[in-house]
Structure 1
Amino acid sequence: MKTKTYFLPAFIAFLLISCQQGNVYSKFDNGFSNNRWEKTNTKTYDFSIEDETKQYNIVLRFGHVYDYQFATVPIVIMITDPSGKEEKIAVPLKIKDDSGKQLGECAGDICDVSFTVKNKVNLAKGNYKVTISNSFNGPYLPNVLGIGLDVEIAE
């Protein structure tokens, strides 16, 4: 009986570690007042790359209310590499397909959309800064539940 008791926690710890091995960085900000992403509220993410021999994916995550009123959301991403070089990427983040179907994964009235900003790229060793803002034509983007960034080792 005690063997089973020790085995279960060890197995759960193994699963948690193995699921996160490819994740270099992950952060999701969800503190938007009244579900409004203010145009002036730029999100900043800092992460470090230790192994430049690997390839990485940089993934934007966007949480929104189900049946979002817009088919796309204008997002601007600025990536600053360890040398200080900046790369600006404008992303028309697709929320719905042409038929109006939600593209994200939804549970109840909460939906999450992921967009790969960079796929299988080599990143130099050092510190990176990524800023994410919206360029919506208005003071805020409504019905936003959160925004986040994942950096993962590409398979």
Structure 2
Amino acid sequence: MKKSILLLFSILMLSSCNKFQEHVTTDFQDNRWISDKWQDYTVVIPADQKAATVNVFFSHIYEPGYDEIPVSVKIKSPDGKDETINTKILLKDKNGKNLSDCAGDVCDCITTIKTDFPLKKGTYIFSLKNNVKQPFLPNALVAGIKINA
């Protein structure tokens, strides 16, 4: 009986040490990411996080026909404050080397937009849109926000 209680206590302690992680995405119909359309992701932060990293996740078809994507990310915190970050998702470096992680014809790219970001307990709304000048970005499979704390 003592061993069972000790084992249960150990499991509970180890699981309570897990850090918070959230990954929210949107799939694109016909592999087209419509331009200037905000995608909203609601994320509930279960406890204060002292140093989170906020990333943009993008999945695309191998050799999509572009090397970077201008994007905007809005963060609305539980206290109602808004922050907008404009950045680029880089698919290749300046030497033409692929920065995405590819498996066959599907590639994933993660772009860090904020580090050491304190998140208070509560509900956040992360919004994402691409800022390309065309009506849509072709060869796009999935985009979203990934948070690690």
TM-score (norm 1): 0.79
Q: 1:70 maps to what in 2? A: 66
Summarize the alignment of residues 127-138 of structure 1 with structure 2, pairs less than 5 Å apart. Answer: 127-138=123-134
Q: 1:90 maps to what in 2? A: 86
**In 2, are the aligned partners of 1:94 and 1:103 still within 8 Å (CA)?**
yes
Q: Identify the range of structure 1 (91-100 vs 128-137) with the bigger mean alpha-carbon deviation.
A: 91-100
Residue 77 of structure 1: how far off its partner (Å): 0.4
Percent of matched pairs sharing the same residue: 31
Alignment partner of 1:58 out of 54, 57, 63 = 54
Residue 72 of structure 1: how far off its partner (Å): 0.9
What RMSD, in angstroms, separates the aligned Cα atoms of the two structures? Answer: 1.9
Q: Which runs of 4+ in 1 moved over 6 A?
A: none
3-state SS of 1:93 partner: strand
- 1:47 aligned onto 2:43: yes
**In 2, are the aligned partners of 1:68 and 1:95 still within 8 Å (CA)?**
no
Residue 144 of structure 1: how far off its partner (Å): 0.3
3-state SS of 1:120 partner: strand
Q: Identify the range of structure 1 (21-30 vs 113-122) with the bigger mean alpha-carbon deviation.
A: 21-30
Q: 1:22 maps to what in 2? A: 19
Alignment partner of 1:126 out of 112, 118, 122 = 122
Residue 40 of structure 1: how far off its partner (Å): 4.6
Structure 1 residue runs of 5 or longer lacking an equivalent are 1-13
Q: 1:81 maps to what in 2? A: 77
Structure 2 residue runs of 5 or longer lacking an equivalent are 1-10
Aligned length: 135
Q: 1:33 maps to what in 2? A: 29
Aligned mates of 1:59, 1:22 — CA distance in 2:
16
1:66-103 CA deviation, whole Å, 9 max, x = no partner? 11211110111000111111101011111111121210
